[in-house]
Amino acid sequence: MRTWRVGTFSMGASLVFLGVFLFLSRFMGFDLVHVMTAWWPVLLIVLGIEILLYLFLSRQEKPILKYDFVSILFVGVLGMVGILFATLSATGIMGKVEEVVAREERSFELPDFSYQMDDSIKRVVLRTTGYQTTIEATDEKEVSMFGTYRTQTANKEKLIMSADDYVYANKKGDTLYVNVKTLPNELGPFYSHQEIASTILIPKGVQLEVIGNGNDITLNPRSLENDWSINGATSIFVNVAKDSNLNITADGVSEVNGKDETWQVTETGDPNEGINRKAVYQSGDGKYHINITNTQYVSLNTN
């Protein structure tokens, strides 16, 4: 009379099948996660064959049934790991994990955006996001935007396919409203770092109102022929030509930077209750105004 230890055959066969799967994955390009997800049903097949084989032999030799608990525990652990992989794959979590692991940080070009202006548009309202932005006056009769963005992506896939993915323009009356969108992102453990460095060209004869979002803004007014106002940026860097015809006022700014003779700074208020700092720069007759409010830091560069 021989003794049958249920579990021994299953453990051996499971190791053989798992080894074959892993061996083939090295030469046939199988994904390891997919291997761990797909192979575990083999455990049920092998264990079922072992039980059927025991029932068949029990009619002839009446074997004594015993369990090999170590082998069964080992098979159970392998099975639970496979079921866990299958569950994570079914819920989409495994796919997200694979995507995060495969990510690399890359830079891409923003698709060019342009909006043709007409004489009925007298003002542009630009709402920015928390990204680095350069605003420049231009002789062209259109509002345009271009630049680059940096993000973490898998398989070198672009995050932005068209200008509509990152900017929206809508004309109402004599005003063109331009809203810059934030890049699509995921919350929680799958968050990825993203940033944009963009340049926005504004016709020099159009009034501009910029609504910042705590971002850094660089202004290149060049031959500006209208008024600009900027509110809500963290830092503003202004580059002006010495022969320009500008009056730049930074009201309520925490700090200004430039040559000693560049700014005329006045402070009002009680030190105990808070001081309001106002800085003014003028070149030429100061015909056109750039008003800066609700900004912590302003730097002026004259060339």
Please give the pLDDT value at position 58.
Answer: 63
Q: How many CB atoms lie within 10 A of CB 124?
A: 23
Please state, in angstroms and rounded to a whole number, the distance separating the CA atoms of residues 174 and 210: 16
Please state, in angstroms and rounded to a whole number, the distance separating the CA atoms of residues 185 and 165: 13
Please give the pLDDT value at position 218.
Answer: 96
Please give the pLDDT value at position 96.
Answer: 61
Block mean pLDDT (10 aa), the chain, length 303: 59 69 64 60 70 65 59 66 64 60 75 94 94 94 93 74 92 95 66 80 96 93 94 93 89 83 79 77 92 93 85
In the chain, domain spans: 3-101, 104-302
Please give the pLDDT value at position 254.
Answer: 85
Q: How many CB atoms lie within 10 A of CB 193?
A: 9
Residues 245, 283 contacting (CB under 8 angstroms): yes
Q: Is 126 helix (H, G, I), strand (E, B) or coil?
A: strand
> What backbone phi and psi angles, to 5 degrees, belong to 27?
-110, -20
Amino acid at position 287, single letter: K
Please state, in angstroms and rounded to a whole number, the distance separating the CA atoms of residues 31 and 303: 59
